[in-house]
Amino acid sequence: MDHATYFKEHIRTVPDWPAPGVQFRDITPLLQDPAVFRKLIDTFVHRYQAAALRPTVVAGLDARGFIIGSVVAYQLGVGFVPIRKKGKLPFTTVEETYELEYGSATVELHTDAVRSGDRVVLIDDLIATGGTMMAGRRLLEKLGAEVIEGAAIVDLPELGGSEKLRASGLQLFTLVDFAGH
């Protein structure tokens, strides 16, 4: 069985959540089963052990990107930095606002989270419209870091986020694609 099929079998689809017509892709079952969780983390770690993709820092997007990103960073022996929703970080921050389907949101990063020249893998659980990952990338680049790749478990290609991110020049690595949203 290939990786995509294996992981897809452990992702729960919750219909009509958080709104009618939305098919929510819940990664909780991936995290609950220790063997599946290990395989998930190992898949990312093996990719980023290669010299060409070896980061100096892993950044995780609020909040499920923290779960995956921190463990990947630990396994790679590199630092982890959280990119949080506005108002959650206690130190001096830079912020980036991005558009949602209805309204906007803002994410923040501590000003000392990365240094100029850091090579960063930016991780989240899912790519939908791409707004959160694009905002995270802009934050990291404001501080002089290079985002070498965006990574996620799930891609929802019909929502156009992965296409938009790739068109901006960001290399992406995802494990599972789901049709629809």
Do β-strands 23-26 and 12-15 pair in parallel, antiparallel, or remain unpaired? antiparallel
47 is catalytic: no
**86: in domain:** yes
Report the CATH number at residue 148. Answer: 3.40.50.2020
Handedness of CA 40, 42, 45, 51 (dihedral sign): negative
pLDDT at residue 179 is higher than 70: yes
Give per-residue pLDDT as tens, 70-102.
999 999 999 999 999 999 999 999 999 998 767
**150: in domain:** yes
Alpha helices in 50-112 (DSSP H): 64-76
Rounded CA separation 25/14 (Å): 7
Give per-residue pLDDT as tens, 97-154.
998 767 899 999 999 999 999 999 999 999 999 999 999 999 999 999 999 999 999 9
Rounded CA separation 139/134 (Å): 9
**101: in domain:** yes
Residue of 64, 84, 96, 108 with catalytic role: 64
Rounded CA separation 137/135 (Å): 5
HSE-up of 137 (CA within 13 Å, CB side)? Answer: 21
**61: in domain:** yes
Q: What is the pLDDT of residue 100?
A: 79
146 is catalytic: no
b/e code 81-99 from CB counts within 10 Å (16+ = b): bbbbeeeebeeebeebebe
pLDDT at residue 181 is higher than 80: no
Rounded CA separation 41/177 (Å): 18
Residue of 12, 38, 99, 101 with catalytic role: 101
> Binning pLDDT at 50, 70 and 90, where does residue 159 land?
very high
Q: What is the pLDDT of residue 1?
A: 74
Q: Determine the residue type at 111.
A: T
**166: in domain:** yes
pTM score above 0.75: yes
**113: in domain:** yes
Q: Which domain holds residue 125?
A: 54-177
**1: in domain:** no
Domains held by the chain: number: 1
3-state helix, strand, coil in the chain (%, to 5): 35, 35, 30
Residue with tokens 């995290």: 31
**39: in domain:** no
Give per-residue pLDDT as tens, 22-58.
899 999 999 999 999 999 999 999 999 999 999 999 9
Q: What is the pLDDT of residue 13?
A: 96
